[in-house]
Chains A and B, each alone.
Chain A
Amino acid sequence: MEPLLHEPTGDTPKIKLDPHQGHFEFVGNSYPENTSKLYGGVIDWLDNWLRTTQMKELTVDFNFDYFNTSSAKYILEILRRLRDFHNEERKLTIRWHYYEDDTDMLESGEDYMETIDMDFELVVKEEDDF
């Protein structure tokens, strides 16, 4: 299956879903005008991938600087699909990145963890990274 790649814009994140590298990532801002157009494609891609994947190990980085509430709904849908990947034979690691004193982003990660009932690695990023 071909990777899904979306280059970042001011209001959309970099999205890279590469099944060949066992690594997915979302990086940057997410407040697109048409959220369903951006994330609908991601969800369709994940649904197709889940039906056919033979992958045994996957790491997903959620490295958002900011996402709006419309994006938040889709991020939950993405996480629910990733949770479906995880079972006794397949390992999933989700890394949730946040600035040390960005309690909003930290709480978002904690809320998602609780909602999908999965532990994330909570990763502090340096402000210099920005």
Chain B
Amino acid sequence: MNFDFGPDQYMFQDSVRGFLADRWSTARLRELMTGDGFDSTLWQGLAEIGLPAILVPEVHGGLGLGFVDLALVLEECGRALVPGPLVETMLSADALARFGTPAQQSALLPAIAEGRCRVVPAVTEAEGGCDPELMQTTATKNPGGWTLSGRKILVAYAGLADRLLVSARFGPSGQAGLVLVDPNATGVTRRPHALFDVAARADEVVFDAVQVTAADVLGGEPSTAALHRLLDAGAAASALQMTGIAARMLDLAVEYAGQRVQFGRPIGAFQAIKHRCADMMVLVETSRTAAYYAAWALSSGPDEVAQAVSMAKAYCGDAARNVCNETIQIHGGIGFAWELDLHLYLRRAKSLEYAYGDATAHRERVLTAALLARGKAA
């Protein structure tokens, strides 16, 4: 029994934090508000320190580490507002490593590990979010493979992706699964979104009778388990990033409260302010607890995944929102100013709150499981 990271994991976190402090800043992020929103130098650098390789097995040139080794790295990515499609590509690497066919793995994983290939999930729809039960994208069997039709929203950096990992219902049974699609294939159209997270990029992608072969289906056959894994990993990755954002916002709140003087003293000396900060610390620490546990479950606790991930997504989403809101409140007027970075964190956290299922959906999942466990399914 040990709920702590090891020295190697803390060392990796330090090196990522150090790298980002040297090579990345919110000032640079603001520059990405125009143009294609992509910083190729940063991407290259992150690939050099091994981030996209973390979940890639060693046999494919990766580091062969698990989700628990990724936890602190993802927290740092949230903390520094690292832009996509890094985390998205890591999630695809996880799905490929676990469910891909040998051909899919050797075609994509070595390139991902080297930072030469970006694969982003396309799993969210405007009506049903990413609930597999509500998914409307379909793949219909034809002699050459499958015909894919549907519409996905919020596909991160689709214009820069080498492959999209698309969720769909396959065949007459409607079995859910994932399929790899070339974003430049015939029948695929993209429309860049106007986004709440102003420095990010994502597209609506329409699949209009797109032809794919069996070799494009992740694992060869439609795999519901692969889709669930991707959704759980995505929810946990969101929770970890929101935790990093909340931790950063708490630091900013404490720093400001310690230096801003009103009524002749730093406002952090007033209990109205310091008590908010203490409550935020509880939210941040408990977010860590929840998000780290979810990361562990994705690595080594298969029976715990559903509950651990949903707990984390629900708790960290509410916590990050609260901490961001409070940090802006503590800053007063300047907190509402565009020039301050606070809204960048708020916008990212708020977007992650809805990614891979919102808190309400995840609470419902937790309760259904808890009632089942008591032998009293609702």
Are A and B part of the same complex? no
Which residues on B are within 8 Å of A, measured CB to CB? none
Which residues on A are within 8 Å of B, measured CB to CB? none
